[in-house]
Structure 1
Amino acid sequence: MSVIIDFFDETNEVKEEQIEMIQGLINLTAQMEEVDEAEMSITFVTNERIQELNHQYRGKDQPTDVISFAMEDMGEGEVEIIGEESARLLGDIVISIPRTKEQAEEYGHSFARELGFLSVHGFLHLLGYDHMTEEDEKVMFKKQKEILHAYGLER
C-alpha cells in the first residue's frame, strides 16, 4: 500500500521532516482505511491564496485552514472515466501555513501536530468522509484522533 503525494510549497516554509511526517501519516491512514495504490497532491499556501480558493469554490470570502478537492466526488453532469486499472486519483489538499501556525498556537500544541491533523483531515475528505451532520462529525473526528494517536502525534 502506498500513496504517491505530489507536494507543492508556495510558501517555502515547510521543512523536509514535516513533509516526511505527512507522507507517513497519509500512508498510515491509507493502511487503516484499506486504500491501495493512490495518488494525490498537497499544496501549502498563504492565507490570501486559500481565501481566494475558499471564495471561488465554497462561496466563503475568508481564509480557512484546509480545503480538499476530491476527484472521486461526481458533480452534477460529470461523467465517470473508466480506463485501465491504475492508481486511484484521489484529488488535492490545500493547506494554509499561516492558519496552521495560528491554530497550533491557539490550541496549545506544535506546528507539526496541527500540520499533521490538517493533512489527515483533508485526506479523510478525499476518501469521502465529511462532518456536515453531528453523526458524520463524530465518525470523522474519532477516526482522525485514532490515526494521530497510532502515529504518535498527540496534542
Structure 2
Amino acid sequence: MGLQLAWTNEQQELEISDELIATLELLLQKAGKAEGVEDGEVALTFVDDRQIHELNKEYRGIDRPTDVLSFAMNEYTDEELDIVYELEEGEELADLPEMLGDIIISVNRAKAQSEEYGHSLEREIGFLFVHGFLHLLGYDHQDKESEAEMMGKQEAVLAEVGLTR
C-alpha cells in the first residue's frame, strides 16, 4: 500500500502545481523510509493566514497565525473511521490505509518565511511539510535537544531531494 498523500487547496495565494505535489510526495516517501513508516495516509491542506489563525486559536488557544499545524490520528475507533471513510460494498476497515493525521500549511506564512530566510518557496513548503510529518509521528521541539534532533531529521530529508538553503 505504501505512504499516501491526500491534499486539498483552500487558499487563493498560490497555485499548487503538480511539480510541488510530486516533491511533497517524494519527501513523504523519504521521511517515511527514514522513520520506518511504510504505510499510511497523510492529509495535507493548504490554507491562508486567516484560516490557520482560526485553527490555531480553536485548537491550541493561540490567537495568531502560524506556519504549520499537525493533528495526529494515533487513536481512533471504528465508528470514527466510518465517519471519515465511506466504505464501498465488500470493502473492510482493514483494507484502508491508516490515517496518520492532518498537516495544515499557511501559504502566506510560507511565502513570508521563504523570503525572510532567502530560499525558495518550494523549500519552505517542503520544510513545513516534513516538520508536520515528524509531529504526526510524535516528535516535538520543546527543548534544545529535541529541537536539534527534529531539525537534523528535517534537513537530512530535504537534502535527499535537493531542497537545501
What TM-score do you get using the length of structure 1 for normalisation? 0.90
What is the aligned partner in structure 1 of residue 112 from structure 2? 102
Matches within 5 A, 1:17-36: 17-36=19-38
Structure 2: distance between partners of 1:17 and 1:84: 32
Give 1:81 shift.
3.6
Is residue 42 from structure 1 mapped to residue 52 from structure 2 by the alignment? Answer: no
Give 1:150 shift.
1.5
Structure 1: distance between partners of 2:51 and 2:95: 35
Aligned residues: 149
Give 1:84 shift.
3.8
SS in 2 for 1:25: helix
Query: Structure 1, unaligned stretches of length 5 or more?
Result: 75-79
Identity rate, percent: 46
What is the aligned partner in structure 2 of residue 10 from structure 1? 10
- Moved beyond 2 Å, runs of 4+: 80-88
Give the counterpart letter for 1:18 in structure 2. Answer: L
Q: 1:81 to 1:98 in 2, by over 3 A?
A: same
Structure 2: distance between partners of 1:53 and 1:46: 11
What is the aligned partner in structure 1 of residue 99 from structure 2? 89
Give 1:85 shift.
7.2
1:118-152 superposed Cα distances (whole Å, 9 cap, x missing partner) = 00000010011110122111111111111111221
What is the aligned partner in structure 1 of residue 63 from structure 2? 61
SS in 1 for 2:138: coil
What TM-score do you get using the length of structure 2 for normalisation? 0.84
What is the aligned partner in structure 2 of residue 77 from structure 1? none
What is the aligned partner in structure 1 of residue 130 from structure 2? 120
What is the aligned partner in structure 1 of residue 53 from structure 2? 51
Note if contact 1:2-1:30 (Cα within 8 Å) is conserved in structure 2. Answer: no
What is the aligned partner in structure 2 of residue 136 from structure 1? 146
